[in-house]
Structure 1
């Protein structure tokens, strides 16, 4: 099949007004593996639209490689591809498992759960800062705060440098969006700044040892040798962006969805014990990372299509998360009660990927989302849009630039019980 009549899923303009739900359904209805032309780069690709085929591609790294080119969906020059080979996301077995093992212990459910009390304290302070105002720009003032605070604490970065990292992260992620006035070169320079900062932390750790993710990376061995500076630097960036941007995005999109469905928001006000179920639906309905890439290493049949060696394969997580064969005929509807009738929803969604590259920070993201919405929902009452939401022009990150809202101002001392 050719690109016509389908949208190019790797054109950032496809997403400039938000997720193109109807376009994605048309592609999904055409089959689980759809060949799409990309006139921007001239490189066609296979879009994986359903969960069964996504799982097959994701669980067979010998057939579909992350390292052969890159796991990132965008096209990059050879220098950038080579430079990013030190990023865990661009590794195949057995190296991938060895590097993953280094940071895995920092993200165990037991360790993450130990942060809950501190996260709740931060969440209350974040909502305290806006609750009495009756309005806020939700993305930066609310959604961005806890994920950034949390990941910087885990990396050993002082909170005084928080805004600096907020700006660096935006610069790296949003280079496709002209409204952000950011070039690809600026994105690369921001990455160099972050790596430079990481190297300063490494030097500090050798003088005064830390106990966090940074120290776990620095103290580990890979094939009997200390972790290289290149791998440490790129792992630092990946953890920073993955742990910050993804949760901020789901929180912003989740708030938008609740405001668009006020009866569902009221249901959660009345039934706060159901917020964790609602978080799963937010994760399903608007994934943070839209797509990743694999490269076929040999000819293989998937979903009735012959994928040839060297073909570009795009795992489109958002499309798969609306797979009617898994989530039912109402898969395109947002429903915070879905998990009540589908108890294994958290296992079925593919927002965190599947297989060897399953997101290592899954438990952390879920904890942050639950803690924040348990504070937001009872306190920011009767939220209304103040202007249209603004979305980031990107086929990689499903982020929001701006979500201006109003709500009933909270009276002094009237915080939630």
Structure 2
């Protein structure tokens, strides 16, 4: 058995100073599936560190359930499990496919491409707002804006409510970080606020139908019946958080990586046509979601490891994305030209998962990331850190809390 004594991947402090790349490599070297202890909860787990094992587990939902103890890596009280099984991320077949079909129509590549012009207009305005100042707090002022505007538009939420949603999202998802959320109770209250808002939106849609994701969900049929109000509320929360926080994280982490590698940033300034390729490396290098959970439904052997029925299994996407067996000896090196020499990089990384739970919003996330980078890179020139970036203390979301930067102020005429 591969036993790993030197870290707990489910301790939020492990990530408080950013991603512990070297520590993760040690764990990856210990084996593709490593038994780990969690002194915080007393519940041991299997950490899946390499891609082949991750793909097998992700593609076998009968053996490894998302619904049993939910797909979230943290331990949750039993009374919360049942309602949260109404969110698509916490479903197993056949319910999962039925609900996914309802949501899928809002995220087809063709439909997502139709948003490009509107998203680019938003992105320009976001960069316009800071470009002449020569400094900004990048996470909230730049990275957070487009993903939030986009997902709220798609859900049919008026833009004047976006600050509310920004705060609710932070409170719900960052319950482990004392700077972001006061208590777990605050997270639950925020969830209730969003559920209440979703219920109001459902009432409005029934009176005045809208062509939005909200409309697609409410008009969809599950086993011949409309989805329940409660299921709609949980789906609404999941889409809001998944479509907002994750892309914000990738944009912020991407900017950090480019600033830490100024030669690579300059390469993209000189070759803006390569920004799309570079976005795949940004996605690979720092995943938005660090880990998800599966629960073994029977005794099973994977990669020579005996997993018992009921065992907790943690899919650690971040370390699988640095798997040397897939990405080569330089897997831990950030390289914006990787996709040029590895044209199927977009298919090889696991930032959106794999198997039946592959992220339904991947096209949307890619479009937002590319558009934001295409607007930021040519205009925020010579960016420098103003103080150390601050990371969110979380083993679930690889988010940044704050990143103050300076850059060459843009003359007013350039922004026109």
TM interval, short-chain normalised: over 0.9
Deviations 1:383-409 (A, max 9, x none): 000000000000000000000000000
List runs of 5+ in structure 1 lacking aligned partners.
Answer: none
Secondary structure, aligned partner of 2:39? coil
The equivalent of 1:169 in structure 2 is: 169
Give the 3-state SS of the residue equivalent to 1:68 in structure 2. coil
* Aligned positions, number: 416
Tell me the equivalent position of 1:223: 223
Q: TM-score, normalised by structure 1?
A: 0.99
SS at match of 1:360: coil
Cα offsets for 1:181-227 (capped at 9, x unmatched): 42111101101100100000000011111111000000111111110
Could you tell me how far 1:6 is from its partner in structure 2?
A: 2.1
Match of 1:206 in 2: 206
User: Equivalents in 1 of 2:181, 2:196: separation in Å?
Assistant: 23
CA contact (8 A) 2:382 2:408 kept: yes
> Displacement of 1:377 after TM fit?
0.1
What is the CA-CA distance between 1:413 and the residue it aligns to?
1.2
* Root-mean-square deviation over aligned CA pairs: 0.9
Cα separation, 2, equivalents of 1:96 and 1:411: 51
Q: Which residue of 2 aligns with 1:182?
A: 182
Contact 2:2-2:31 at 8 Å conserved across structures: no
Aligned position for 1:316 = 316
Quote the Cα distance in structure 2 between the aligned partners of 1:318 and 1:282: 12
Unaligned runs of 5+ in 2: none
SS for the counterpart of 1:136 is strand
Task: State how far apart, in whole Å, the 1-side matches of 2:182 and 2:34 are.
Answer: 32
**Other-structure match for 1:355:** 355
Shift of 1:265: 0.1
CA distance in 2, matches of 1:253, 1:339: 18
Determine if contact 2:181/2:187 at 8 Å carries over to the other structure: no
Q: Check whether the contact 1:2–1:37 (CA below 8 A) recurs between aligned residues.
A: no
For 2:118 and 2:332, the matched residues in 1 are separated by 36
Distance 2:42 2:262 in 1: 44
- Whole-angstrom CA distance in 2 between matches of 1:122 and 1:31: 45
1:166-315 counterparts in 2 under 5 A?
Answer: 166-315=166-315
Secondary structure at the counterpart of residue 381 of structure 1: coil
Distance 1:301 1:282 in 2: 34
CA deviation profile, 1:256-313 (whole Å, cap 9, x unmatched): 0000000000000000000011100000000000000000011111111011111000
CA–CA separation in structure 2 for the residues paired with 1:366 and 1:23: 29
1:48 is matched with which residue?
A: 48
Equivalent position SS for 1:46: strand
Distance 1:196 1:358 in 2: 28
Which residue in the other structure is 2:73 paired with? Answer: 73
**CA distance in structure 2 between the partners assigned to 1:329 and 1:227 by the alignment:** 48
Alignment of 1:397-408 (within 5 A): 397-408=397-408
**In the alignment, structure 1 residue 156 sits paired with structure 2 residue 156:** yes
Q: TM-score, normalised by structure 2?
A: 0.99
Give the deviation of 1:70 after TM superposition: 0.8
Hey, what's the Cα distance between the residues in 2 that align with 1:4 and 1:236? 38
Does the 8 A contact of 1:3 with 1:38 survive in 2?
A: no
2:34 is the alignment partner of 1:34: yes
Q: Distance in 2 between matches of 1:315 and 1:222?
A: 29
**CA 1:77–1:70 in structure 2 vs 1: closer, same or farther (change >3 Å)?**
same
- From the superposition, tell whether residues 4 and 363 of structure 1 become closer, same or farther in structure 2 (CA, over 3 Å): closer
Q: CA deviation at 1:232?
A: 0.3
